[in-house]
């Protein structure tokens, strides 16, 4: 078991291995995600019953909750990748941390915007400076910070270290986001779904939500793979396997 | 379908504009996330090829 884990870890550290395996997995994540997303969104928009309190505005949940969840999961992945990179000097890990930042930022933007638009008919306001909304805004700024570090610092090693440290320190924000609706008085409703309890939603509302959540995670994998593969190609451009991959050897 | 007609699906009892605006933002961000790495890949391939050609000369 330990040996197998160790072997997997060393494989994951190999850019060539990652490039090949991610290329093979991409279509699966892409099309399973697409099937789930189309079904979940159509079901949520046109077939799920309206909420007895919020009416039809609740249909925003099918994109708001997945993007908010994913923006936090992506952050955790970025912080863990940074930690692994720092501790074991694993290059591949830094690459993943780097490419997750812009994707996570788009998810945080989606969660904030859809939340604001949902707030208007539900709370009567686009924005309040309460704990949940403010901590989500901080999450977005943390993503911007990591992106800015990579844009500003030319030296790759320095940029990797600085971004990893910011990611790790900033992860204190994740439990704050999660528990903000319990610790403080907030307009935001408490969690609709949790992993440990049975959903309080009716199944015909909950199943499409589960589908769109899974779909977001599938597509997240596709986006991380695509960006990581770009980074790998560029870094390994002088190696023979990349040249073979791109058919550059034949022209010689 | 939950709605009686296509127009009531668009209307959503007055909530339509909020819901559809959200799904528009969703579509834009999803498309960006798919297209952006595709464009980067094209650029990377071009750069690698140019560099390889220069080194051959």
Task: Concatenate the DSSP letters of all residues of chain B into one string.
Answer: --SSSHHHHHHGGGTHHHHHHHHHHHHHHHHHHHHHHHHHHHHHHHHHHHHHHHHH-
d(CA B10, CA A49): 15
Quick: pLDDT tens for A5-29: 888 777 777 899 999 999 999 999 9
Surface-to-core class of residue A235, CB atoms within 10 Å of its CB (0-12 exposed, 13-18 middle, 19+ buried)? middle
Interface predicted TM-score of the whole assembly (ipTM), two decimals: 0.92
Q: Give A-chain residues touching B14 at CB under 8 angstroms.
A: 121
Q: Give A-chain residues touching B50 at CB under 8 angstroms.
A: none
**CA neighbor of A28 nearest in space, from A234, A241, A214:** A214
Quick: pLDDT tens for A192-236: 777 677 777 888 899 999 999 999 999 999 999 999 999 999 999
Tokens of A151: 């844009």
Residue A231: the pLDDT is 95
Quick: pLDDT tens for A58-80: 999 999 999 999 999 999 999 99
Question: How far B44 CA lies from chain A's nearest CA (Å)?
Answer: 6
pTM beyond 0.90: the answer is yes
Helices (H), A55-90: 61-88
Question: How far A165 CA lies from chain B's nearest CA (Å)?
Answer: 26
Show Cβ contacts of residue A64 under 8 Å, excluding neighbours closer than 6 positions: A110, A111, A114, A115, A118, B22
Quick: pLDDT tens for A159-175: 999 999 999 999 999 99
Per-domain boundaries in chain A = 66-234
pLDDT of A44 over the 70 cut: yes
Q: How confident is the model at residue A252 (pLDDT cuts 50, 70, 90)?
A: very low
CA atoms B8, B11, B14, B16: torsion sign: positive
d(CA A67, CA A74): 10
Q: What are phi and psi of A51, to 5 degrees?
A: -70, 140
Quick one: what percent of chain A has pLDDT higher than 90? 71
Q: Give A-chain residues touching B18 at CB under 8 angstroms.
A: 57, 60, 117-118, 120-121
d(CA A60, CA A70): 16
Average of per-residue pLDDT values in chain A = 91
């Amino acid at each position: 078991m330990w040996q197998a884990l160790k072997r997997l870890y060393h494989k994951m550290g190999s850019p060539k291995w990652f490039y090949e395996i991610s290329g093979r997995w991409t279509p699966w994540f892409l099309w399973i995600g697409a099937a789930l997303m189309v079904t979940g969104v159509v079901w949520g928009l046109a077939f799920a019953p309206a909420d007895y309190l919020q009416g039809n505005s609740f249909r925003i949940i099918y994109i708001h909750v997945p993007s908010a969840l994913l923006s936090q999961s992506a952050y955790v992945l970025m912080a863990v990748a940074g930690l692994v990179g720092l501790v074991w000097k694993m290059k591949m890990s830094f690459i993943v941390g780097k490419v997750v930042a812009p994707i996570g930022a788009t998810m945080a933007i989606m969660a904030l915007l859809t939340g604001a638009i949902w707030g208007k008919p539900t709370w009567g306001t686009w924005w309040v400076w309460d704990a949940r909304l403010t901590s989500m805004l901080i999450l977005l700024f943390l993503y911007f910070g990591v992106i800015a570090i990579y844009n500003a610092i030319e030296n790759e090693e320095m940029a990797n270290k600085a971004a990893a440290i910011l990611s790790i320190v900033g992860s204190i924000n994740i439990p704050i986001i999660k528990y903000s609706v319990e610790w403080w008085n907030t307009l935001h409703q408490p969690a609709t779904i949790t992993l440990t309890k049975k959903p309080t939603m009716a199944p015909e509302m909950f199943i499409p939500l589960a589908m769109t959540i899974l779909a977001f995670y599938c597509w997240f994998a596709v986006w991380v793979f695509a960006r990581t593969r770009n980074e790998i190609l560029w870094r390994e451009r002088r190696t023979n396997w990349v040249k073979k991959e791109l058919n550059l050897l034949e022209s010689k | 379908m939950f709605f009686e007609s296509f127009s009531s699906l668009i209307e959503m009892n007055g909530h339509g504009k909020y819901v559809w605006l959200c799904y528009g933002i969703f579509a834009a961000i999803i498309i960006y996330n798919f297209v952006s790495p595709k464009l980067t890949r094209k650029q990377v391939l071009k750069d690698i090829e140019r560099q390889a050609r220069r080194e051959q000369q």
